[in-house]
Structures are given as structure tokens and as C-alpha cells.
Structure 1
């Protein structure tokens, strides 16, 4: 697909007129009209409702606009990466285990491929343990979980916290919920125990370990219940809610944090890459 046609289409859509697009794209009105017509013919769809004074997107035009913005942003990003001066240096990066999975790890991998002279050292740990190291400057950048959401740092996205159990889970006869949780100071653990105690529900720790994969396996096997997010739901699991006697949970916020007075140019460039993926809603 011709990128110049997409750029002109975006300019028309955002300016709501061909006249606005001519100024933004530095083209004549006849050229803008011709490019929009070519785009519509290539797609076989009407993209704009035109009047003498303005134009607005059709339903198909709105779909194309959403995709076109992402395509142009990604192409511009790719072009700028190859044009910019290669960086050098070392980035100390940290994140909880479960946020180094796809698609976020692709951001780090892509940055490492383009910036071959930048070393990225990744530390995995709990958010509450990582935060002091960011504040002291020992860690340049970190992805942190915040429960409840605080808005601190650069918020990337929010997730609903849920109770996860195996599909055939049944409440124990003694009424004490078996739990699989990460040891303190895990925020998921704190959330789960606080919610159960506030609801007056008895609990016991069936599994305590630092591996989220081991915790998910324990849940799938029916050994225990845990608190994670909706994205952690697997085919062999189900979500427990108020109908099952479990208290409702809030949300977690995943945010990007940087060391105070960060001067690491490579780290600052990585921040922009991460924010760019956030804006494209790829996390």
C-alpha cells in the first residue's frame, strides 16, 4: 500500500477537509483529491462522506484511519532508527518475571538488534524490591506493578485482578482456601490475603514460591487458588467471583519508572521505544 496515499488520507481525516490537508501536506487540492480517489479505488471502498464545506469518515474510512495511524507511526519509527546515530552504553533494566513475556520482550529485542553497541542488563524481581533500586539510581529503568493504581511513573496499561482456580475447583469442606502465592513483599499476595481477611474467609498457604509458572501449574492441577490477572487465565482454569463466594478485586497498574536525573542516553531512547509501543496499544 502506498504510504504517501495513507499520509494524505490521515491529513484529510484529521483536518476534516481537503483544504486542511493541502496545507498540511503541501499539495494542491487537485492532488489531494486524486490521491484519495486512488486510495478508494485500490480498496474498493468509499472512505469519506464529502460536502461542500467538510468531509467525514465512513465506517470503512474509520477502520482504515485506525490502521493507517499505526502503519505510518511504525514506518516513521523504523526509518528514524536506521538514520539515527548508533548509541553506546549500558542499561540496567528491571521488571517482574511475568512482564518479560511477549509482547513486551519484543521491544527489548528490537532495541538490542538496532542498538548493537548498547548492553542491556535485565534484573527480574518483585516490584516492591525493585522500586528502591530505581529511586537510588542503581536501576536505570523498570517496569513496576502498582496495586492499587497510583498513576506514578508512566502508566502503560491496567489489568483486572482475578481469582484463578482449576475448572473443577470446589470449596474445601473445612472452608479454608488453599492458596498458591509468591512470598512477601509480593503485591498479588498482599491483595489476596487482605481481600480474604476483610471478607472473613479462612485461608492457608498450599504453595509459596517465586515462580509464576509453578503457581499457575499448581492452580491448573487443582492444588490451590491464586490471584493474578485476566491475561493469566489458561484453558484449564476458570475465574472465581462473588457467585463462588470470593470477594471482588481491583485493578493493577503496569508503569514505567526511571532513575532520578537519568542522563543515560541509551536508556532515554529505550523509554521512547516503550512509550511508542504503548501508544500503538501493542502491550
Structure 2
């Protein structure tokens, strides 16, 4: 008889992969590090293959570990969905979330994965618009939650993430050396655009907006093509982009702050659950998140 896989062992396995550490995984699954290590030993014995290879201070998956990972995620998801389907207090209904398209590209996969794993019966409606429009949609009761760029001139929402805002160009471009700096930026009301132009005006650097789009992918394409300079948060850096700093004559930019805006007229258990998952996915400002990042 074929031995079945233990869901609890698979949860620890996935936690190790997601955190990159047996120690951090132990905190996630509320076990000791030695208990997690024993679980992985038994899991390897059950599948008859080595799942991890030591990589300096961290761990990495073997080819067999990579094969198991997809199965593990699916098994855990189905297990949670089955339990939730029979739970009397399982959340149901719909929650409406808005965020800019660049945030959706970077953060939405993890947010939805976290949320749907524990709330499989909830329908999530996602709207991608610039922060200014999202604030208006919250005011019109068209959204329950919005992830927005925090603007110092009009602060709104709870700031949950902060990271450097950087000047970027293509690795194969010298566009930053042109007498009139070509820029690829977002729409006119964008906080990052205002910061970039403001800094260039302070140092009296001639510039012109060559490409303007609400779509982050379009702005990034102009940069990667070597046609223009732009500004992006650190987490939005893409392969092929090069950061420009004071050595190239570019002044430091203010940090990028991301805020969670809640609709005061839509305070539901479902919206609160999604808000909790958003904070857990994006948070890098709380003492706990900073301590984890330092490890």
C-alpha cells in the first residue's frame, strides 16, 4: 500500500521554501526548529528522495524538492478548502479591492494566494486604477479596500510599506547622459512623477517627459528599450534595469510609501480578513517584519 503524504509535513515544507529558512519556517507553523527538521526527515523518507540541499547558511530545493513543491501547495490548498467548506464560521460573500497596476503585478499574487488559502468561499473583485482614482472610488463606496501610494501632501490610509524610490535606466543605455534628459513617467497626478520632476528642477537639469502612461508595463518598456529614464520603487526593479545615483548626477529621491485605505462604510469581517492578509504580505515597517528582514 502506498503511504499517503502528511499535510502537516507538507505545510512545514512549503513554509521552509517560502521563508528560506528552517528557523523562520518554525515560527510560521508554530513548531520548534528541531520538530520541523524531524518532519522534513520523515517527509524525505516517505517520498524516498532528498528534498533540500544546503546552500551556505540557507537551503535550496533539489530537483525532487521542486517537483514536490507544486503538489504540496495544491494538497494544502485543497485540504484547507475542504475544511473551510464544512466550517460553520467560514467567510463568504464578496470583497472589492483596488490597487495600481504596478502594485498588482508585484504584490497581488502573494496576497490572493494567502487569502484564498484560508477563505476559499470569498469572491475577490480586483480593480486596477491609479491611486487618485482609487481614493475617489472608496469615497463613492465602490471599493472596500485600496492599496495606494501615500502622498505627503494629502496623507491617507495606514502606511504599511516603505522602500527607496530609485532613478533607473537600461543597462545598455546612455540616455541619462543626454543634454535634455528623456523621461518615461506615469500620469500627471503621480507622486513619483512629481518627486522626479521636482528634484530635476531643484538641480536645474534640463528634461522632458518623452513617454507618459498610466500603465507601469509601458513605462518600464520605454526604460528597458533605452529610450528614457524613470523612477521606480526598489521592489519594482527588473532585469535589464540599472540604478542611477549621485555618481551619475542624480539626486536622492524621497522614499516610496504604500498605504492601505479602508472604506469606513464597508467594515465587514470579510474585508478585515483581506486587510490582514494585505498587511501580512506587504509589511516591512513593523518591528517584527524588520527583525525578520535582518536575519
TM-score (norm 2): 0.64
Aligned residue in 1 for 2:105: 101
| Counterpart among 239, 254, 260 of residue 258 in structure 2 | 254
CA distance in 2, matches of 1:145, 1:246: 22
**Structure 2 spans left out of the alignment, 5+ residues:** 1-5, 9-20, 32-75
Q: How many residues align?
A: 222
Deviations 1:133-172 (A, max 9, x none): 2234321001111145987533321110000001233356
**Structure 1 spans left out of the alignment, 5+ residues:** 4-62
Structure 1 residues 158-169: aligned runs within 5 Å: 158-169=162-173
Change (3 A) 1:105 1:71: same
Structure 1 residues 183-194: aligned runs within 5 Å: 183-194=187-198
1:188, 1:227 within 8 Å by CA — same for their partners in 2? yes
Aligned residue in 2 for 1:175: 179
Q: CA RMSD in A?
A: 3.5
Change (3 A) 1:195 1:111: same
1:91, 1:121 within 8 Å by CA — same for their partners in 2? yes
- State the secondary structure of the residue aligned to 1:144: strand
CA distance in 2, matches of 1:172, 1:90: 47
Q: CA deviation at 1:224?
A: 0.3
Deviates more, 1:256-265 or 1:119-128: 256-265
Structure 1 residues 144-163: aligned runs within 5 Å: 144-148=148-152, 152-163=156-167
CA distance in 1, matches of 2:191, 2:170: 22
Structure whose alpha-carbon radius of gyration is higher:
1
Aligned residue in 1 for 2:280: 276
Change (3 A) 1:247 1:147: farther
CA distance in 2, matches of 1:154, 1:64: 32
CA distance in 2, matches of 1:206, 1:189: 13
